[in-house]
A and B are shown apart, each in its own frame.
Chain A
């Protein structure tokens, strides 16, 4: 299944009524499940809503989830457009976080924080990009499908970060699952009082979204990506080199994911932890699938997912329900979307 070949499925106006089936179906499914378990969908909905939108503090927390999630989703738009399943995005986030941390540790004291911090963010992007290139090279030169190559590299990245946390970068005194020592506050992206999100992180994500949309829809590069994704053989007849184009897509996706990793380190956790990626890479895959691989809906869906993630944090305390409910809801939406699109294609 080639995601970009579906591109011309949806935009037609006649398709809009179909889209309404997706939330209806998903909500219906989740409600049925909750009722079957003896829980009140209404109470849970209210809890999720107030937990994410109830106050600026809460909403700014949502935005701190939204920023890295949006970065990952933007990166995936490039790879999906080129017909690639960049499962390795998760590892690219992790390696980005490592790259950023490494830069901060290595050059601490050599450069003023105002110079080093941007450099470290960029280093994270670069590291993620290289990790993406690695999956791309495995595919182009080694004949390893990017799904398997990416999955393998995810495990390598996970191993790498755990080794660093328990080995070379372990806490003074004792290694701990809770991560490395906190970074010096000089390297924290500033979070204003009463906020949970660093404005810089937010700006980086919004900027990345703008650049992504511009590159995809308004440049020759975007056109080449679509051509390669839809028909690599024919693209070759146009003098396009599909392997190069897909490599650039992998690079861009990896860079955006790496940047997300940088933000996780400098804006959210302020240290390296084993779960530094928070699963945003995989979650980004769901966001882009739910958006039918197109950019317009991505920021909104990412925001919705961020609300679910944030809103569910309080669930165990207020309603004695595990916060993994957010994942159930997200899964229900994506499955509904795939089902509705699949049925519609079948009907055509």
Chain B
């Protein structure tokens, strides 16, 4: 039905897709799996017309097509169910259903909506407000809208994240029914269990290439190996050290923030530990870090910092815990403020400031931290690596617990290496580092302990030097290892 041939997509120097070819058949469920950054989202965006490919051809029923805009895709009957439902929360279910309809006929559309919902066993009241629905129900509504629009190709992006088991069963039953009607369904997922139960065919993307293609029955080990490759076992940069006293303790922490939320996390992180958080994006790591950093309050459960003078309140008033966000310019630094002004904000600036106040200190910091810039350079005028070094230089001296989100994102190899050398040197004997990274190799070489997040839960928690990369990659796809050192919860 859809044929992709040698699709390339370049973003500047980065090649997100490096020649992907695949065939999607009518009447089948086609799985697309791969780790973060494998090119899944880019491929989906090309198919739905949000971005255009750099080269390659797309054939639809044998005819070459362009897909320049989302309209083109919609006209061909390609529809996508996004992770975050694209609906209008303030309107009713019926209003949302009618929005895409070509004619305005509430009476008839109401009937059609009820009929469609009945057919798939969805329980959607036409007059309830969409903001009251669960994610799963909003997804059902979105699906009905796509079906009503006569979509022949349905793309689903991680559809089971954040929905209940029951809703998942209903969804899968609906998808099977749609497949049997002859539609093509493209399922993007990292959960091997659902891929196995639903997909007739699976393509594995890795580094922008289709590295494996399997038909039912699926060989899970083969898929795993294709997804994660075999990582070279490198010399460990860090050995597990003796754990000291606990520095961060979470007790049954629950949060509904983020895509997957955080479910009942109980753990303790000790002095001298470097903890790497693995898992697909949005599996709960970001929420975990923000709760630990005091930027989010958990819905229930407690967060304690044994041995710290104060507990982290909202606003990060506690300077013993610092959080360095992934989106450095948006969340960590202040565009428009110079290096000197950032240092003044972080330090104890006097009330009256002359243009020279803090300049000497800024110059020293610039030299100490290898920042390429001048005291007057605004943060938004710095490159990614220099922004990261500026953030690091702002970490206050007494900070014991350093939380980092994707610390090497956007950094070249040298900047990344410099940062890790710095972090290990800077770490106090009574301190700890917790970082999230999409890069397993980074976690395995820099961390002493790894925690794998899946759907808002920590499903693997083990010392890195006693953990096989295979175990980790299985955990990322939702397979709980039998012998994993899970915390006694």
Contacts and interface: CB of A to CB of B under 8 A. Distances in A.
A224 interface: yes
Interface in A131-153: none
Interface stretch (B10-18, B341-349, B428-436): B341-349
Interface string B304-332: 00000000001111010011010000111
Contact of A226 (B325, B337, B350): B337
Interface string B339-360: 0010011100111111000000
B316 A237 contact: yes
A221 interface: yes
Contacts of B315: 236, 239-241
A5 interface: yes
B336 A223 contact: no
Q: Which of B317, B325, B334, B380 has the most CB of A within 10 A?
A: B334
B335 A224 contact: no
Interface in B367-410: 378, 380, 394
B430 to A, nearest CB: 21
A233 interface: yes
Contact of B353 (A7, A220, A239): A220
A122 interface: no
B44 interface: no
A233 B335 contact: no
A55 interface: no
Secondary structure at the B interface, as helix, strand, loop or mixed, is loop
B324 to A, nearest CB: 9
A203 to B, nearest CB: 23
Contacts of B336: 4-5, 7-8, 226, 230
Q: Which of A7, A219, A239 has the most CB of B within 10 A?
A: A239
B380 to A, nearest CB: 8
Interface string B126-169: 00000000000000000000000000000000000000000000
B334 A227 contact: yes
B335 A5 contact: yes
Secondary structure at the A interface, as helix, strand, loop or mixed, is helix
A3 to B, nearest CB: 12
Contact of B345 (A4, A224, A241): A224
B353 A230 contact: no
Contacts of A227: 334, 337, 345
A8 B336 CA distance: 6
B353 A238 contact: no
A223 B353 CA distance: 9
A252 B354 CA distance: 22
B295 interface: yes
Contact of A239 (B295, B319, B344): B319
B425 to A, nearest CB: 23
A240 B378 contact: no
Contacts of B274: none
B184 interface: no
Interface in A1-46: 4-5, 7-8
A296 to B, nearest CB: 15
Interface string A222-251: 111011001101111111110000000000
B333 interface: yes
A211 B336 CA distance: 23
A4 B317 CA distance: 25
Given A224-B345, A239-B316, A234 B351 contact: no
B378 A223 contact: no
A234 B349 contact: no
Contacts of A105: none
A231 B354 contact: no
A240 B394 CA distance: 14
B316 A234 contact: no
Nearest to B333: A234
Contact of B350 (A220, A230, A234, A240): A220
Nearest to B348: A220
A147 to B, nearest CB: 20
Contacts of A226: 334, 336-337, 341
Contact of A219 (B317, B353, B394): B353
B382 to A, nearest CB: 13
A220 B341 contact: no
Interface in A44-94: none
B36 to A, nearest CB: 24
A241 to B, nearest CB: 6
A18 B251 CA distance: 59
A218 B337 contact: no
Nearest to B328: A234
Contacts of A221: 351
A223 B351 contact: no
The 7 closest A-B pairs by CB, nearest first: A8-B336, A231-B334, A238-B345, A220-B349, A230-B334, A236-B315, A230-B336
10 contacts: A5-B335, A8-B380, A218-B353, A219-B351, A223-B345, A227-B337, A233-B330, A236-B315, A239-B317, A240-B315
Interface of B: 295, 314-317, 319, 322-323, 325, 330-337, 341, 344-346, 349-354, 378, 380, 394
Given A7-B336, A237-B325, 6 more contacts: A4-B336, A219-B351, A220-B352, A227-B334, A227-B345, A239-B317
